[in-house]
Structure 1
Amino acid sequence: MEVSALKKIIDDFCVSEEVNIEKTGLIIDGAALYYSLYYNADPKLDQRCGGDYPGFKDEVCNFFKTLQDCEVTPYVFLDGGSDPDKRKTLVSRLKHKLKKAKTVAETKPDAAPKGCNVLPPLVKDVFIEILKEKDIMFEQCLGEADPVIVSAANQNQCAVLSIDKDFYIFEVHKGFLHLDNFEWKSKEDEKIPAKLYTRSKFCEHFKLDPALMPVFASIAGNDYSILEDRGRFARESSSPGEYSIKRLDGMLNFLSKVNLDGLNDSQKRERALSEALNHVGKKENQTFKLAIQKYVQPEKKCFELPTWVSKKVERGELTTFVISVLDQKTMMLPALVEDFSQRSSYTAAYRIRQYFYGLLTGGQICTEYDRDGKEIKDKRVPSILLSSDEQKQLKLQRLHKVLRLIMKYTSALENIPDELKLVFVTAATLMLPHQPDQEDKLLLVSGSVSLNLCLILSVEDEFERKMKALKDEGVNNWQPRVAHAFSQWQCCMRQSLHLNQLLCSPLPEPQCARLYCGPLLHRLADEDTIEELQKTLRGEKKELYDNLKTVCH
């Protein structure tokens, strides 16, 4: 539910109850958590230079360590494929995020408008990696996580932790904890201060029949519907708040006065909706009824997926992008902070995605939503499929043929540790058509070498301390060309990771959390800085650096 004023109403009217969280189970909306942890980290995590994954990992680990200290058992649920009914909403959101990405790219870090946030591309991959490392129970849903979360919360008698305002509407027996009021960094005596919201208390305060909460959500505005009332409800409100507050208050007052005598819950909702529409001169609309039903009976979205795909998605072993490709033949490419005077960074990984689509669809055309200039446009992408004769061969042989494009570049990696090989495999994409120019190719490769050099070095040696100092200094002279090149590298890296997953991981996967640190690599993009750092290398580290350099040449 996209009504920012709803939380303000709840806070202003003190509808929530102050509680201390300890010794309990907790159902966590995974997407809400990693967004919140990344955007609200202190010190602030980088968004302008492509992300700071090591810093993000520290924040996530600290969060779950706090839960452990307070004997809180987390159950994390992550979103899967999107609902086709929300296509227009998702495209609209993508356009909005694109504008934010452009603002972040063109504004100094401390000068970006409040709330202008863009999630770096590998954050979800890093988050899932941490959940596995820490043995935290989680499930990646096939569809949207909301219905699964509500069911799990009521079945296990746990509260829900999220920022999604839909949980103000759903009937969650043990209540809803908004992440903004979940003060995990202020724990005291092994307890976490928080504010607990329950739907029953909200309805009691506004004298609203609980059966009408879905009606309120549908007309107030969500992903499926919004009632254009031309300010009528706001004008009828006595609330001293701003327009958005007045509007919601007016709706709640109106619904609380609808005569519901002798009606069952279904009939109550039908009458309330009809009267609300009539009140503002609107005709009956099926859209509102469908939106109401989403809250009355939140159901899991059914996808026709192969069993092995479903199982791997649920275990976090396969990206949820496969669901949209298999079910709808679409791919929404998230907005990136990049140089908007150049073509989209996703172009660099175009050929890899074609193989990805080909394996999933059997050669059908897919539709991608990506940036074209400053606008979001949909583009039909032909997938790459092997010949009919090759299709008759064993599945494993087919997959190995598809891998040939990538694997042929790995013969020179014999001296590279297994966990780093996939990082260097992404360099193969730089040899394909529609790639960056020679200068940017060298930048991508040199950045990869510098990055992996610092990954291998011990944590507390002189070199590592210098690297940390460089990161902490920040990036004063942000270069669009550098940002764009690293953005291209991350696109190639992520798509290589997902293709590797689809092929049942023939190459060992690297630790995503150690793959990239934007502020550090932007500093390392300065050749003088690299030369200075090389002087600190000695013995086997110098030899290792030379080996890595030779491989890239």
Structure 2
Amino acid sequence: MEVSTLKKMIDDLCLYEEVNIEKTGLIIDGAALYYSLYYTSDPKLDQRCGGDYPGFKDEVCNFFKTLQDCEVTPYIFLDGGSDPDKHKTLVYRRKDTEEKAKTIATTKPEDVVLKGCNVLPPLVKDVFIEILKEKGIEFKQCLGEADPEVVSDANQKQCPVLSIDKDFYIFDVHKGFLHLDNFEWKSKKDEKIPAKLYTRSKFCEHFKLDPALMPVFASIAGNDYSRLKDRGRFANESSSSGEYSIKRLDGMLRFLTKANLDGLNDSQKRERALSQALNHVGKKENQTFKLSIQKYVQPEKPSSKLPSWVRKKVEIGKLTTSVISVVDQKSMMPPVLVEDFSQRSSYTAAYPIRQYFYKLLTKDVQALLPDLSSDEQKNLQLQRHKRVSVVHVSILSVWYLSVQAPEGLRRRVFEEALQVQTSALENIPDQLKLPVCVTVFWFNNLKLGQKAETVHCLHALLLGFVCDPNSPGWSQLLQFQLHKSDYSDEFERKMKTLKDEGVNNWQPQPHVAKAFIQWQCCMRQSLHLNQLLCSPLPEPQCARFCFIRLYCGPLLHRLADEDKIEEVQKTLRGEKKELYENLKTVCNPYSGEGSSQSSRVEVSSTDMDNGKKNTIHNIFSHTSTSELQ
């Protein structure tokens, strides 16, 4: 049951109510929101150059500002770990996303990418959570899929749900479902947002369908768990004038309305209707359809082996949901990257960091601890003996590091993972310490085949660290003649010009694109490792120096050129110039003095994936055996 098909049927039949949203609570599917905002932005946000996080932040902030103007109170729910029952569906979707990523990576600026060919940059969810924290917007990161908690909270608060998820056409949401495609927040008028409100009751009334059978309809029409192969039987029996997919859904609904359900309770009605539908097309009873139906009838909140203190940190966004997949499912499916699929995955650049992340969660962490003092060793052993019957020893070790261990020890573990020394960062602002450590690791990791272009990428990143999109230089109109009083803004204006030039007219160079996407992989994994260690380094935050300032693809790709770098460097003045010089000292690409280790951080050939790209079976095939067991 594709979203577009059912939505088209509902729109064609006008099975919705035109409403104006104001002065209400609104339960929002967070994943659907950040996907929608990134993909539907105008102008379109970059996907070819690794993403445009400053532009994404502007879009998100404008959305929530509109809700505030209309006195709409948002409650955000974010997905956690994926449902194991949907594994086949997720693998299929991933392959489809990979094909889209290949298309985007090979499309030239002058060519038009097919509608719907979208791939989300890897740090979008992390950025979205930081924006929610900065804005003080109430949100919860669920342990599994958010749907059950979305429906429960919506009915408890008597609020509509905002999403694009097809399942909300099926769930009994008392105050209705608002599809994001019809939520016209950019067209607000008189502090009201035009929208189309769908209710299950109106849908059932139109088709004269018993509401108890909506889960049966969803299971046979097709969803993430099941799909009935009916060989056109239902479509052929439909009187609808619509296309085949509409005829098929219409035929199913008409068939279900004719089922003899007299004297049965809701559970019996569903069982009989399913049996009749399967028999109608010559299929036998199948447990898959029953499981699918149950997902709608009694959606269960997912459980987890994680201890309560870990679950709490996940829920409030202080710990990535990847820990759920690693601990509970012994696997992890990373975001698909837009990159050159003829080369090894860029995720291999972050492998040493990822290995620490996995081992902290799944193995005896003492082997990873650098030079523990005797007191620290005793403390760790004590915590194990106290609680070993309650929680797995590896989780105990993380509990010790995150809750009881001094910051110095946690920082030493982080330094060990990234092969850096944070003592070299005294002259670096707190909010840049983590990104700079990542950059040192990333640059050292690339030294084995280092070219001048890699050094240019490094300097582009450092200039990006110095840049401040909130300065007047980004908001004022560019002038050909700069007055002396405006000279201090010349750097920001130059950076703004380069970004604007890169948005539509710049074709990513393969080596530059590879280097920058590898940096993002290292940044993402380091951010999550830092969270797991209870932030021994300050996390880049929106309120002070959000890491969305650290990566703007169109700007950095345009800037990664020797002439452009020299041109921009000449505009640096005062504190910005001093910061840039300090950053260069720490990340010295020539003598290695700014690097914390004289030796390179290398990835052995056994860690590579033989050139196969971005599937859970290839990138992390070693994970299930060597890392997670």
Which bin holds the TM-score, normalised by the shorter protein? over 0.9
Distance (whole Å) between structure 2 residues aligned to residue 167 and residue 151 of structure 1: 12
Is the CA contact 1:451–1:516 (under 8 Å) kept in the aligned structure 2?
yes
The Cα shift of 1:246 comes to 1.2
- Aligned partner of 2:413 in structure 1 is 402
* Separation in structure 1 between the aligned mates of residue 448 and residue 518 of structure 2, nearest angstrom: 8
Higher strand share: 1
Residue 486 of structure 2 aligns with which residue? Answer: none
Map 1:131-146; keep pairs closer than 5 Å: 131-146=132-147
Partner of 2:238: 237
2:275 is the counterpart of 1:278: no
Query: Given residue 455 of structure 1, which amino acid in structure 2 is its aligned partner?
Result: D
CA offset digits 1:384-431 (Å, max 9, x no partner): 845999976534276454223237333322111110111111134337
C-alpha displacement of 1:457: 8.8
Within 1, Cα distance between the matches of 2:319 and 2:447?
A: 27
Q: Residue 470 of structure 1 corresponds to which residue in structure 2?
A: 498
Output the CA distance in 1 between the equivalents of 2:245 and 2:253: 13
Deviation readout 1:53-77 (Å, 9 max, x if unpaired)? 0000000000000000000011010
More displaced 10-residue stretch of structure 1: 321-330 or 232-241: 232-241
**Deviations along 1:298-349, whole A, 9 cap, x unmatched?**
1101111111110000000100001000101111011000122211010000
Aligned residue in 2 for 1:546 = 581
Q: What SS does structure 1 have at the residue aligned with 2:425?
A: coil
Q: Do the aligned residues in 2 keep the contact of 1:82 with 1:144 (CA within 8 Å)? A: yes
Equivalent of 1:505 in 535, 539, 547: 535
Kindly indicate whether residue 264 of structure 2 is the aligned counterpart of residue 250 of structure 1: no
8 A Cα contact 2:411 2:537, kept in partner: no
Q: Aligned equivalents of 1:132 and 1:452: distance in 2?
A: 22
CA distance in 1, matches of 2:182, 2:246: 20
Select which of 437, 442, 445 maps to 2:449. 437
| 2:247 aligned counterpart, secondary structure | helix
Aligned match of 1:449: 462
Report the equivalent of 1:373: none
Amino acid at match of 1:180: D
Q: 1:111 aligns to what SS in structure 2?
A: coil
1:522 aligns with 2:557: yes
For structure 2, the residue ranges without an aligned partner over 5 or more in a row are: 381-399, 474-488, 541-545, 589-629
Per-residue deviation, 1:231: 1.3
Return the alpha-carbon distance in structure 1 between the equivalents of residues 339 and 377 of structure 2. 39
Matches within 5 A, 1:139-158: 139-158=140-159
Q: Residue 507 of structure 1: CA displacement?
A: 0.3
TM-score by length of 1: 0.93
Deviation of 1:87 (Å): 1.4
Root mean square deviation of aligned Cα: 2.1
| Partner amino acid, structure 1, of 2:415 | R
The equivalences for 1:159-174 within 5 A come to 159-174=160-175
Establish whether residue 414 from structure 1 lines up as the match of residue 442 from structure 2. no
Give 1:358 deviation, angstroms.
0.7
Aligned equivalents of 1:541, 1:502: Cα separation in 2:
32
TM-score by length of 2: 0.82
The CA distance in 1 between the partners of 2:163 and 2:448, in whole Å, is: 40
Secondary structure (helix, strand or coil) at the match of 2:264 reads: coil
Equivalent residues in 2 for 1:299-448, closer than 5 Å: 299-362=300-363, 385=368, 394=380, 395=400, 396=405, 399-405=410-416, 406=418, 408-430=420-442, 437-439=449-451, 441-448=454-461
User: Quick check: 1:26–1:158 contact (8 Å CA) kept in 2?
Assistant: yes
Given that 1:74 and 1:136 are in contact with CA atoms closer than 8 Å, whether structure 2 keeps it comes out as yes
Shift in CA distance, 412/270, structure 1 to aligned 2, threshold 3 Å: same
Superposed, 1:51-70 pairs within 5 Å as: 51-70=51-70
Q: Deviations over 1:521-550 (max 9, x none)?
A: 000111111111122223443333222222
Corresponding pairs, count: 535
The aligned counterpart of 1:493 is 523
Matched, 1:532 2:560: no
> Shift of residue 134 of structure 1?
0.6
Give the SS at the match of 1:463.
helix
Q: In structure 2, the residue corresponding to 1:275 is in which secondary structure? A: helix
Question: In 2, distance between residues paired with 1:290 and 1:391?
Answer: 48
Mapped to 2, the partners of 1:441 and 1:173 lie a distance apart of 56
Deviates most, 519-528 or 460-469: 460-469
Partner of 1:18: 18
**What SS does structure 2 have at the residue aligned with 1:129?**
helix
Structure 1, residues 440-496: CA drift from partner, whole Å, max 9, x if none?
652442232121121399443222122112111124232122111100000000111
Residue 230 of structure 2 contacts residue 281 of structure 2 at CA under 8 Å; is this kept in 1? yes
Question: Are 1:122 and 1:512, in contact at CA under 8 Å, matched by a contact in 2?
Answer: no
Q: What SS class does the counterpart of residue 82 from structure 1 fall into?
A: coil
Deviation at 1:158, TM superposition (A): 0.3
Instruction: Write the distance in 1 (CA, Å) between the matches of 2:216 and 2:575.
Output: 68
TM superposition shift of 1:199: 0.1
What's 1:190 paired with? 191
Identity %: 76
- The farther-off stretch of 252-261 and 394-403 is 394-403
Contact 2:501 2:558 in 1 (8 A): no
Alignment partners' CA distance in 2, 1:500 and 1:426: 11
CA deviation profile, 1:270-289 (whole Å, cap 9, x unmatched): 11100110111100000000
Structure 1 position 250, deviation (Å):
1.0
